[in-house]
Amino acid sequence: MRAGCIFFSVAIIFSCCKESNNNSVLSYSFKDSVIKRHFETVDSISSYDTNTYDYKLLKAYYLNDTNYLQGYNNLLQSISKTRNVWYYNDSCIHQPELIDLNIEEAYRFIYWKAFCPYSLNITIGKLEREINLHFIIYKPYNDYDSLPCSIVDEFNKKLTVREWENFEEAMNRADYWALKERNDRNGVDGSGLEIYGCIKGYLKKNAIQTKTYHIYRWGAERYTIGEAFMLLLKYSRNKKGCLVVND
C-alpha cells in the first residue's frame, strides 16, 4: 500500500513536470511563430523603417546573431560610460526645460568633443520678432583631477529676424523633425551633439499642441544638422574653447 502511494505520487509529479515542460515548449513555439509572422509582415511593407535599434535587436535575438548582439552590448557599455554621468558632469548648468520657456519655438544644442576640456550649451528661442541666443561654455566634471563642473562664460545675445531665418533654413535642410533620434554611427573619440526642439502652438488635427523632439549625433559636424549648430556658434561670436567659428 505504501509502495503504491509512493509510485502514485511520483507519477503525479512526473506528469505535472511533463505538462509544465510541454507548456514551456508550446509557449516558446508560440512566441517564435509570432515573431516570425511579424518579420514576414514587416518585410512586405516597403515603407517600414528597418534601421531602428529596436528592429535590429529583435531580429538579431530571433536569428541568434551573436555578432550583432555583442556589438550592441559594446555600444551599451560605451553609452553607459559617457551618458549615464551626463547630468553629473553638467551639474553646474541650471536651465529651464524648453517647454517651460516663454517662446513660440526653441532649440537647445549640447556639444562635447573628445580631448577637449570644454563643452557647449546653446539655446536659441523665438517669440514673435524677438530672438534670443543663450550661450554657455563650461568645463564638465573631470574624472582625472576631480574638478567640479564650472562655467567659463555665459551670456545672452539678441539675434535678428534674418539670422533666425538663416538658422531655420539650416534646420529645414537637415529635416530635423523627421530625423531618427539616433543612428548607427558611434565611436570612442570624436564628438557628440544633442539637440532638443520645442514648438508651442503647433496645429495638428485642428488642435493646438506642443511639439517636442530630441536627437543625438556622434560626429555631427559631418552632417547637415551640424550646419545649424555651426551657424549658432558663428552668431555667438564666441572665441573660447576648442570649437570656434570665425566670420
DSSP 145-183: T-PPPEEEEEEEEEE-HHHHHHHHHHHHHHTGGGS-S--
Does 227 have pLDDT greater than 80?
A: yes
Position 206 confidence tier, pLDDT thresholds 50, 70, 90: low
Its pTM stands at: 0.64
Residue 212 predicted with pLDDT over 90 = yes
Question: Are 55 and 176 in the same domain?
Answer: no
Please, what is the end-to-end C-alpha distance for the chain in angstroms?
Answer: 100
Backbone angles phi, psi at 50, to 5 degrees: -100, 15
Look at 3 and 132; give whichever has higher pLDDT: 132
pLDDT in tens, 99-117: 999 999 999 999 999 889 9
Is residue 81 over pLDDT 80? Answer: no
Average pLDDT, the chain: 80
Res. 245: pLDDT tops 80:
yes
Question: Looking at the domain assignment, is residue 244 inside a domain?
Answer: no
Output the domain CATH number for residue 162: 3.30.1560
Whether 247 is in a domain gets the answer no
Grid cell for residue 211? 511639439
Q: What is the pLDDT of residues 24-75, one digit of tens each?
A: 555 667 778 888 888 788 777 765 666 566 777 788 888 888 877 887 776 6
**DSSP reduced 3-state for 29:** helix
Q: What's the domain range around 74?
A: 2-82
| Number of domains forming the structure of the chain | 2
Burial pattern 49-68, b for ≥16 Cβ within 10 A else e, equals eeeeeeebeebbeeeeeeee
Are 103 and 54 contained in the same domain?
no
**Contact residues for 46 (Cβ-Cβ < 8 A; gap 6+):** none
